[in-house]
Chains A and B, each alone.
Chain A
Amino acid sequence: MIQIFRDANYNFIGNRKWAYIVSGLITVIGLVSLVTHGLRYDIDFTGGTLVQVRFDKTPSVGTIRSALSRIGLGESIIQEFGSSNEFILRMPLASTSSEELGKRIEGALAQEPSIGKAELRRVEFVGPQVGKELQWQAIYAVLFGLGGILLYIALRFDMKGGVAAVIAVFHDVLVCLGAISLAHREFSLPVLAALLTIIGYSVNDTIVAYDRLRENRGKTIAKGKTFAVQMNDAVNQTLSRTILTALTTFLSAVILFIFGGRALEDFAFVLVVGVITGTYSTTYIAAALVVDWTEYVEGRMRARKKGVVKAGEARKIT
């Protein structure tokens, strides 16, 4: 039998203070990048026009730009896309309308002999109204996703678990967004889909640990152990499954990143980052927060009990 961990017993929960510092640092780095670089949105969210062109030859960005400037689109953003003869042209909203644009671009490119034949492979136009709506839909999708998870865990387990899981997932979303910003990738609809998948994946992981904790508490082996130790046991018992699943999912995501083509690259990038942070956050955020919260509540209860006794003594004195 091949085994990664045999009777794993690492002190995850005990080291949670360090993990909080690490999580905090990573989140802050991501946030700083988000604030300074910002997030580059795809036309899905900003509105605008995107044209994907494939050429016979391999023209320079300058040649394409000079061809486009003939029809007043010299200000377009021109990027190589996947290979050296394929480009993405982005035009801001104001300068274009969808009508006839494809034809005009084709005509302008045809007049430049050095770039060979141009094939318009994709034309996307998103009006300002639609872009704004999609922005809101994206925010709603994430919020409702988190809300749905909170509700599910609160019903299946308890409120503490639900809140801690949502905080962990929220951390993952922030880390992914920060990574997108740092890597200068684009926030598009598929990236949103990847983000929601990560939300699902991260919570999946958390539930496995919670489930184990609940199962153990029903048994005698949990007797006499502090909550922190019980949680640490649950995390250790599910450790090999966590690592194995993270590994297979991670491999799938990496393969998607390598073989999926440029169109899926940003999507796969978020998955790769998300699988790592999702796996990490289960133990060091979701489980750790539940422990701290429970200890805090238990501490308050003990204090209150003491308080009652003191009050009784006080009454005796009078």
Chain B
Amino acid sequence: MPRNLRARSIVVFVVLVASIWALYPPKKTINLGLDLQGGIHLVLGVETEKHVASQADRAAEDFKAALDRRGIGVKRIAREGARSFVVELASPQSWNDAQTVANDFQTFDRSAEDQAAGRFTMTLRDREATRLADDAVRQGVETIRNRVDQFGVAEPIITRQGADRILIQLPGVQDPERAKALIGKTALLEFKLVDDKVDAQQAATSGQVPEGDELVYQRRVDRQSKTERRTPYVVQKRALLTGGALTRADVSADPNSPGNWQVAIEFTPAGTKVFGDITEQNVGRHLAIILDGNLYSAPRINERIPGGRAVITGQFSVDDARDLAIVLRAGALPAPVNILEERTVGPSLGADSIRRGMIAIIASAAIVFVFMLFYYRLSGLIADVALTLNLVILFACMAAFGATLTLPGIAGIALTVGMAVDTNILIFERIREELRVGKTPRSAIDAGFSRALRTIIDTHLTVMVTAAILYNFGTGPVKGFAVSLFVGLAASLFTAYFFTRLLFDVVYMGRRKVQAVSI
């Protein structure tokens, strides 16, 4: 009996059983890529600069408040660039007091100091800016995950990619436009007072608004004519309250406008108090509800509102209202995002691709099977069995590692079928050569296998090197191709050498005398 026949049989048996176990049931275990099952692949770029800028804005406001508290007069505080703000004091006399205030802002560096003019610049430190940018992306990922979870997508992938990108994969989503809108919306909800002293129409035409104010528009789409009407409003720049102070957002029918839906929101206790104070102090004025820079409504405050509830109306369909409620509950993105890459595949195309890919694999396997059988006879049959095992192991490994099968991946497998027989061809040709120089069948088989081994390892390793490089540089589908190729090669290394050898040993190395090798 040849060496360790039993031990090797056990190894092959265990691998086979483990593979089948990993594969069962195939529909659930094989992870299909978005190009095969349909869905959306999105890469979002986070405008981290904007988050840093808004933090600089906030710091500028805090700075002004701190100066006010100490009774220091200010001529001007304004942001300059993304990370700095300029402070101009009313009089140079208060320079030293202002410096003490500035010392409290430890994340800022002072520069461009001009004591005579009472002017200096505060700039956010590099490390702090980096941290803020990082926060913006991390919070963005969290917020989007929250939204997607509430939207209800099975097995979404939401991860950070590089410094300022977010990768989102939503398998099987039917309405990509809606999902995109839901994910990409900044959802910054702001409550701002309307400046009633200004004529909004006039401001819109001249483009000039008083300092501290800004121009926003209310958009209304006429259902019949499908035309958009934009109404200008002049509001105070400073938001009195934001969506951050929100605990609930629910959809209900709009009682004043049949067929439309509204979103009722409820504030946190702290938010409720602020809301109560705002409404108390501003009875008779209009409070604008603004989402991502668009004004939705600006109701008149009739009295103090103590309960901390408000309603957002604006010609919403039930889906619009539901999505708005989701984004409000999940919170605003810390910085706006934009779509850098999008790949949407409909489910019918995915199914087509699977069908075609499988036909290609089966046809390719069939022709190679027949060829091997025809050319090498019994040995060819052994190679065919090994090839089958190779495919089983390949799919099982992909299932076990949770690797994703993509369309190029299927192509990679179809190609692997052609290349995997190479190992067997190498061995068989070598055995034939040894037979030709007059060796006995057994020693020819021995020599053939041992001589071919080194070549096989070399060829497999080099191709695996290219597959690994492909994996590192590729994206999405190409990565899937690299995975299939790599795993396929590893499997072929195992089967061709381990399994083919075992079958040869079983067939030719038994007790009876071998007269000839069918090769």
Give the B-binding residues of A (Cβ under 8 A): 1-3, 7, 52, 54, 97-100, 102-103, 119-127, 129-130, 134, 137-138, 140-141, 144-145, 148-149, 152-153, 156, 189-190, 192-193, 196-197, 199-201, 203-204, 207-208, 211-212, 215, 237-238, 240-241, 244-245, 247-253, 255-256, 259-261, 263-264, 267-268, 271
Contact = CB atoms under 8 A, between A and B. Distances in A.
Nearest to A205: B459
A151 to B, nearest CB: 8
A156 B458 contact: yes
B432 A193 contact: no
Query: Which of B184, B341, B372, B425 has the most C-beta atoms of chain A within 10 angstroms of its own C-beta?
Result: B341
B425 A255 contact: no
A124 B342 contact: yes
Contact of B422 (A130, A204, A255): A204
B375 A215 contact: no
Nearest to B356: A261
A200 B375 CA distance: 26
A218 B250 CA distance: 82
Contact of B421 (A7, A215, A248): A248
Given A140-B473, A241-B425, A122 B346 contact: yes
Nearest first, the 10 A-B pairs at minimum CB distance are: A252-B418, A200-B463, A141-B473, A249-B418, A261-B356, A121-B349, A125-B342, A127-B340, A200-B466, A123-B344
Interface residues of B, number: 73
> For chain A, what secondary structure do more than half of its interface residues adopt (helix, strand, loop), or is it mixed?
helix
A248 B368 CA distance: 6
B345 A121 contact: yes
A190 B465 contact: no
Nearest to A131: B341
19 contacts: A98-B342, A102-B344, A119-B348, A121-B345, A121-B346, A122-B349, A123-B344, A137-B475, A138-B473, A144-B472, A144-B473, A196-B466, A197-B485, A201-B419, A203-B462, A204-B419, A255-B364, A255-B367, A267-B408
A122 B35 CA distance: 9
B367 A129 contact: no
Contact of B339 (A99, A137, A140, A215): A99
Nearest to B352: A261
Contacts of B475: 134, 137, 189
Contacts of B184: 99
Nearest to A264: B411
Contact of B455 (A192, A211, A244): A211
Contact of B360 (A190, A250, A260): A260
B429 interface: yes
Interface in B429-469: 429, 432-433, 436, 451, 454-455, 458-459, 461-463, 465-469
Given A248-B418, A263-B356, 15 more contacts: A1-B432, A102-B176, A123-B176, A124-B343, A125-B342, A127-B340, A140-B473, A153-B462, A196-B469, A204-B419, A207-B462, A249-B419, A259-B356, A259-B363, A264-B411
